[in-house]
Structure 1
Amino acid sequence: MGYRRGYYRKDGTYVQGHFANNRSKFSNKNNGCLLLILILIAFTSIISCSDSSESNCPTKNCDDFKSRAEAQSAFENNKDCYKNLDADGDGIACENLK
């Protein structure tokens, strides 16, 4: 709210000054906070979507396979999901198995 000064209309009559609510519901004072909240919501939704793509991978380690050949076959079929089977990064999965 603010005080509105008196003024003259075009027809020459005077309008006395008075208090007037000249701000809308969404005034410019709160736009910074609103923008920050919207950015935060967008950022968290992007993060939650990117994490959900990895959840489709099975969580298996070398103890879940009977032989190195079986682990190597699973690793070669999907290297993104089974990257934990190759600890040293040389392309050979579960080197401790026989």
Structure 2
Amino acid sequence: MSQQHATLLQFFANWCYPCKVLTPIVNAVESTMSDQLRVSRIDIDQEEDLAGRFHIMAVPTLVLMQDSQEIWRHTGVMSEHELKTALGTALSGKL
């Protein structure tokens, strides 16, 4: 049985200091949750249309997608523990 992975969209900008803080946290979570989750990193300066479609008003913003639906969103920096907990809750459908 194959379970479809969820996708975490990481919207960032190269000039954004909080984005630089969040990236290693997202990388760590991606490696520990790789059986459930894939990460797509989206530079808002390179992908303005995509950022607009997701109504990104500030970076860093994380958007969790499953079955083409947004199931969770967070703007700003969070700890690795907070991110794992939030993603686990969202993926279990307990939101």
TM-score bracket relative to the smaller structure: under 0.3
More strand by share: 2
When Rg is computed on C-alpha atoms for both structures, the one with the higher figure is 1
Q: Which has the higher helix share?
A: 1
- Higher relative CO (Cα under 8 Å, sequence separation at least 6) belongs to 2
TM-score, normalised to structure 2, is 0.24
